[in-house]
Structure 1
Amino acid sequence: MDFEDTLWTVLGAGLVLLMLVDVFRTLLYPHGSGPLGRAIMRGFWLVSRKLRGRGTFIAAPLAMAAVIGAWAGLAAVGWALLYLPHLTDGFVYGAGVPLQADFAEALYMSLVTLSTVGFGDIVAAHPVLRLVVALEAVTGFGLLTATVTWILQTFPALNRRRALAHQLNLLREAAGPAGLLAVNPAHAAGLLESIAGNVASVSIDLLAFHETYYFREIEQRGSLPATVAYAQELVSQAQRSENAELQFAGRMLHAALEGLAEVLRGKFGHAGTTSADVFDSYELHHRHVRRRDPGAE
């Protein structure tokens, strides 16, 4: 191969490798995220923050679709560049198929192989090329199943976050202005321990599925940024209680909230020396106005 062919081969291999690394870090690497996917999600997020109306709530789903499209595009173009130097000598063409050696032809072959359609009008002749084509077909099938898995993992994590927000809202409405003082201490301790466990689950979800952070909630009732401050109020109420069991549950919830604040601070760049400052920033970025307690002045 001459210099130009070598350049196309190296560039194609680099694009395929970038796609594989990004998919691996997004879907398989614990608490990781691919550089390309993260950049796309963050880009859509920054644009959506400048928009108004209900359209901002579809930014995250569109960003996920863009990430999947970027993966497919990198794979298709990368493999096409690998085929390009070997057109037309490295392939056998069917009857009536014109012999072409341009990028459009290589991209067509790549898309057909990646989608595992396999029309059979153009077939690799060289043993190495046959192996490369087979590897692309395997990659295409793996990419399809990986994206489906990604989507199926994302929405349960979103539901857990919404459930926590609803749980806090229900407790606030049921307890009223009296807060935990209106609840039996043992029962209140059990509620706080349950909330602490759910907060910890949300923290893990944000680490494992970073894309869930960028989803905005249409209804404030299901928005954790708008309700997480109430969990801090519950901690304060528990710490003022004379019941040891309730105090312990309050410390558990406090630790869980500190963990959530650390995730928001370290992984998503929310500034603040205290967890309250971090949650204020979290709320501001998601454009929800904090709901006041009943009877507040």
Structure 2
Amino acid sequence: MNFWDVLWTVVGAGLILLMLVDVFHTLLYPHGSGPVCRTIMHGCWRLSRISRGGASSVAAPVAMAAVIFAWAGMAILGWALLYLPHLPEGFIYGAGVPREADFLEAVYLSMVTLSTVGFGEVVAGYPLLRLVSAAQAVTGFGLLTATVSWILQMYPALNRRRALAHQLNLFREAAAPGDPFSMDASHAAALLESLSGSVAAVSIDLLAFHETYYFQEVEQRGSLPATVTYAQELASEAKASDHPDLQFAGRMLEAALEDLAKVLRGRFGHAGTTSSEVFEHYSTHHRHRRPREGAD
């Protein structure tokens, strides 16, 4: 092998490794996302924020599709570069199939192998190349099933966030004006404890499914950034109550909201030293509040 053959092999192996690391951190590691996925998701989000119209509502689905295509593209290109130095002598060609040794031929072989289509007109001849192509086929099948699972896991997390926003809106609509706890104090405390559990679940979802942050709700009623400040009001009023059950529920809800604010500040860079400031910044970024002068 000459210098260029070695170079293509190293670059191809590097692309494959980058793809595998990104998939591992995004789909298998519980509290992270890969560098490629994170860059694409954040980039699409930033572009949608400077555009007009409803681009923000479709930015996250488009970004997820772009991430999947990026993984597939890195896999196809990486294995194509591994095959390129061995074309055509390293492969067995069927009758009537032209023996090509260019990059497009390598890409074609890589795509066919990754998709597990296996037409059979060109197959690896060297024992090592056979193992490499078999490994690519296994990776392609795993990548397909992993991305489907990723999509299926994403939407339950989004539904939990929407459900919390709906709970807060229903509480606000059903509560008496000026006195949200006019009901039995024990019953009100149970409702607040339920809200605390929902807030904690959303915090865990944002840690485990980093990408859900970038989904913007079209309707304000189902938007947590638009309703989370009401949860803070409930926690403050409950803490000021004379009933010990309500006081405990208020502290519990406040602690859950503090944890959510820490996640938003630490993982998504929201500014603010207090939870209220973080939630205001969160709401502004999701376009449910007019930005202050000079705010990002």
3-state SS, counterpart of residue 88 of structure 1: coil
Contact 1:180/1:238 (CA < 8 Å) preserved in 2?
Answer: no
Aligned to 1:204: 204
What is the CA–CA distance in structure 2 between the aligned matches of 1:231 and 1:56, rounded to whole Å?
Answer: 25
Deviation of 1:54 (Å): 2.2
Aligned to 1:241: 241
Aligned to 2:98: 98
Deviation of 1:53 (Å): 1.9
Match runs of 1:1-297 below 5 Å: 1-289=1-289
Deviation of 1:177 (Å): 1.9
What is the CA–CA distance in structure 1 between the aligned matches of 2:33 and 2:176, rounded to whole Å?
Answer: 41
Deviation of 1:239 (Å): 1.0
What is the CA–CA distance in structure 1 between the aligned matches of 2:107 and 2:176, rounded to whole Å?
Answer: 63
3-state SS, counterpart of residue 45 of structure 1: helix
What is the CA–CA distance in structure 1 between the aligned matches of 2:276 and 2:223, rounded to whole Å?
Answer: 17
Residues 34-53 of structure 1 show CA distances to partners (whole Å, capped at 9, x for unaligned) of: 00000000000000001222
AA matched with 1:250: G
AA matched with 1:274: T
3-state SS, counterpart of residue 49 of structure 1: helix
Deviation of 1:216 (Å): 0.4
Q: Which runs of 5+ in 1 are unaligned?
A: 291-297
AA matched with 1:279: F
The alignment of Structure 1 onto Structure 2 pairs a total of residues equal to: 290
Contact 1:77/1:107 (CA < 8 Å) preserved in 2?
Answer: yes
Residues 158-206 of structure 1 show CA distances to partners (whole Å, capped at 9, x for unaligned) of: 0000000000000000004234332211011001000000000000000
AA matched with 1:66: A
Aligned to 2:293: none
Q: TM-score, normalising length from structure 2? A: 0.97
Q: TM-score, normalising length from structure 1? A: 0.96
Percent of aligned pairs sharing the same letter: 71
Q: Which runs of 5+ in 2 are unaligned?
A: 291-296
Root-mean-square deviation (Å) = 0.9
